[in-house]
Amino acid sequence: MKKMIIKGGNRLAGEVTIGGAKNSTVALIPAAILADTPVQFDTVPDILDVHNLMIILESMNVKSTFTHGVLDIDPTQIVEAELPSQAIKSLRASYYFMGALLGRFHRAVVTFPGGDNIGPRPIDQHIKAFRALGATVTEENGTVHMNAPEGLHGARIFMDMVSVGGTINAILAAVRAEGVTTIENAAREPEIVDLATFLNNMGAKIRGAGTDVIRITGVQTLQSMNTHTIIPDRIETGTYLSLAAAMGDGVMINNVIPEHMEAFTSKMMDMGVDLQIGVDRIYVPAIGQLQPTIVKTMPYPGFATDLQQPLTPLMALANGQSKVVDTIYPKRVKHIPELQKLGMQIEAGDGEILINHSANFTGAEVQASEIRAGASLMITGLMADGTTIIHNADHILRGYDRIVWKLNRLNANVAIEEDD
């Protein structure tokens, strides 16, 4: 594991360019194995999850190369193989290979994936979708076995709860199934629209992505003709917006889709941050007084659960008490004792996180339990006097494109080292 060493207190200024969306990328890479031709992605974030997915591709004889944000994948010589359990267990989104392999081979065996530990995230909606499409699914000792010897057939799938992962896996399995599939109560996230755009450009027939009803007419072949440019990462955008407001003397954030950020930016403006929003960029000026706020996480287009932790350090600067209610992952609280070590007045109870005004932060040794918890510690460490050491920093590297380089270009003092 690695550690992040932050010497805090530096005011930040300059420009930062947002990378491609992690949550799109981790679905697009498994989707590439559905193609009958080589595939190319552009603006791919340089994060650990991408490299882990490339290891999984290699196990199936799928060649891939990644250079300067361009990822080439050649699935034309793909073979069925046991997927490497270590890469699977380090990466929750590896479960998208379930839908992709089922769509390609009509069978798959996948170890139950790992990834962030932020409370229960069951895959029952995924399994329900696979069964509706005609697959038999059994789970034994953390391994999921799927088989559809007669092939997959279009079906009506109703999601009992809005599930981004379940919606994506259903699309991956249904896109080459025979007949028409309708996914009702589907998730509406921009990353799902990005996936559908990629597949449609290869000849898929997916309609309604971005709404709660998606209709898929199965096709027999998918052929890539063009490079697919991945949408900007809205969670990375929100993290830099919060960081720039907390410690910035004027920061321009480039490669942004403002429409994807409205729940977040409106909350920041309610707090008193005078954001200047352009067509594809947002300028964050130095801030004055901040007002407390209440954040309630909801499925898109509501406030994203992945952004409650990155906003927390900014909420701590407000004059008064702010509150977070996470309706998606109410157990997402492991960052709280670590933030307390840095001097934040924050506590959790009765399904709420309460953040009181905190004037002085002091560097300390803390542990990142997952990606966005790590982001909140990183921002607070940059705000703190002295040195902060974040252990298990691999979590941060899993989700943030070239994070050390980007921060140091803004005048931060950050380094990554191997942990003892």
Verify that 190 and 292 share a domain, yes or no.
no
Verify that 120 and 131 share a domain, yes or no.
yes
Verify that 248 and 219 share a domain, yes or no.
no
Verify that 117 and 220 share a domain, yes or no.
yes
Kindly report the CATH number assigned to the domain that includes residue 179: 3.65.10.10
Q: What confidence score (pLDDT) does residue 114 get?
A: 53
Overall number of domains in the chain: 2
Q: What confidence score (pLDDT) does residue 113 get?
A: 63
Question: What's the gap between Cα 253 and its chain centre?
Answer: 19
Verify that 307 and 290 share a domain, yes or no.
yes
Q: What confidence score (pLDDT) does residue 178 get?
A: 98
Asked if residue 345 belongs to a known ligand binding site, the reply is: no
Q: What confidence score (pLDDT) does residue 36 get?
A: 98
Which secondary-structure segment (H or E) carries 341?
A: helix 335-341
Which secondary-structure segment (H or E) carries 27?
A: helix 22-31
DSSP, residue by residue, 296-336: EE-STTSB-GGGHHHHHHHHTTSSS-EEEEESS-TT--THH
Verify that 174 and 286 share a domain, yes or no.
no
Question: Which among 180, 199, 229 is the end of a domain?
Answer: 229
Question: Which among 202, 229, 256 is the end of a domain?
Answer: 229
Measured distance CA(89)–CA(98) in Å, rounded: 14
Asked if residue 160 belongs to a known ligand binding site, the reply is: no
Q: What confidence score (pLDDT) does residue 193 get?
A: 98
Closest CA to 153 of 181, 178, 124: 178
At residue 136, φ and ψ (nearest 5 deg) are -90, 135
Q: What confidence score (pLDDT) does residue 297 get?
A: 97
Verify that 36 and 119 share a domain, yes or no.
yes
Verify that 171 and 243 share a domain, yes or no.
no
Beta pairing partners, 417: 3
Q: Note down the domain range covering 178.
A: 22-229
Which residue among 46, 49, 74, 116 is the active-site one?
116
Would you say how long the chain is, in residues? 420
Verify that 257 and 138 share a domain, yes or no.
no
Question: What's the gap between Cα 361 and its chain centre?
Answer: 28
Asked if residue 124 belongs to a known ligand binding site, the reply is: yes
SS3 419: coil
Beta pairing partners, 138: 145
Verify that 181 and 243 share a domain, yes or no.
no
Q: What confidence score (pLDDT) does residue 351 get?
A: 85
Asked if residue 122 belongs to a known ligand binding site, the reply is: yes
- Is 116 an annotated catalytic residue? yes
Asked if residue 332 belongs to a known ligand binding site, the reply is: no
Tokens representing 352 are 């709420």
Q: Give first-to-last CA distance, the chain, whole Å.
A: 8
Verify that 318 and 241 share a domain, yes or no.
yes
At residue 67, φ and ψ (nearest 5 deg) are -140, 125
Mean pLDDT, consecutive 10-residue segments, the chain of 420 residues? 97 98 97 98 95 94 98 97 76 86 94 55 86 94 89 97 95 98 98 98 98 98 97 98 98 98 98 98 97 97 97 98 95 95 95 94 97 97 98 94 98 95
Verify that 216 and 250 share a domain, yes or no.
no
Question: Which among 206, 229, 252 is the end of a domain?
Answer: 229
